[in-house]
Amino acid sequence: MTSTSSQVVCAGILVADIFVPPMPRLPQAGELQATDDFLIDSGGCAANTATSLVKLGVPTTVIGKVGADNFGDFIENDLRSKGINTAGIVRSNTYGTSKTVILPVIGEDRRYIHTFGANADFSGADLNRELIAGAKFFYLGGYLVLPGLQPQDLSETLQFARQQGAQTMLDVVVPADSGDSSFKALEMALPYVDVFTPNDGEARTLTGETDPERQAKRLLDAGCGTVVITMGEHGSLLMNKSETLHLPSFPVKVVDGSGAGDAFAAGFIVGLLEGWSMTETLRFASAVGGSACTRLGCTPGVFTRPEALAYLQAH
């Protein structure tokens, strides 16, 4: 089996993102509203986490699916230009590349226009085990909106990664009002997940619980090793069998919250690879996650490792 030189393999959603700069309001019907230049960037959980990891100095490979089109070419070329190994990206002959237009209005939550595209075609057969076998860490992001990825295939891939000596992390995108069905789709995989990282809204939908500690307890009971629930401006909660940690968020000037959860995941992976304590790891992840909010787009604002360490020293 040929192994990759990357420490981390990031699998899951790949998207071509088109960010409109923050606007004072949405245009009226028939109105043209001028803005600063759009940002076109590779995105989706796998791309964002991989990009953040490379900025933090961690060699990373991406596994995902794009269309046989210009947007697919763009994603591959863009990730490669950022220093990411794209050997795990395959092309769909059925769907075009997934695309999202992000419309931020000042003082309001973002609005999204999205096509699932080739992510709907991503399946267990696309999880390249030769690449996974050489990694120290396997991350999969966007589960539950990857309809072609069956629970059995995900479970077997996570088992394989751990058998090869890798740690595992699972991140999800939980469709609204999908609680019981989404939780059932997770149950087979969670016993092979070292770190599960939903946000508070996702954890609420999955568990039916409103209290973050009760959410975490329910998810731990389903078998994962550690649960980390991110709560935006309210900080984060980490729980495993030996400790429970609450950490407030770091103060940042939010320009665009896109990609914060993926940057957080990347920071957390760094701490685990380095063997830091859970407290150190959570602080580092929180700082990196917050940095993603400081510029338009998912990853332009993400700290490098020296920047993250300097920020933590100052705060």
Q: pLDDT tens-digit profile of 126-165?
A: 999 999 998 999 999 999 999 999 999 999 999 999 999 9
**Helix 45-55 / helix 260-274 crossing angle, nearest 10 deg:** 50
Averaged pLDDT for residues 223-238: 95
Contact 126, 154 (CB under 8 A): no
Averaged pLDDT for residues 203-232: 95
Q: pLDDT tens-digit profile of 1-33?
A: 344 568 999 999 999 999 999 899 999 999 999
- Using the predicted structure, report yes or no on whether residue 34 has a pLDDT greater than 50: yes
Domain architecture of the chain: domains with CATH = 8-23+38-314 (3.40.1190.20)
- The contacts of residue 161 (CB under 8 Å, 6+ apart) are 132, 135, 138, 168
**Would you state the pLDDT for residue 2?**
40
* Predicted structure pTM score: 0.94
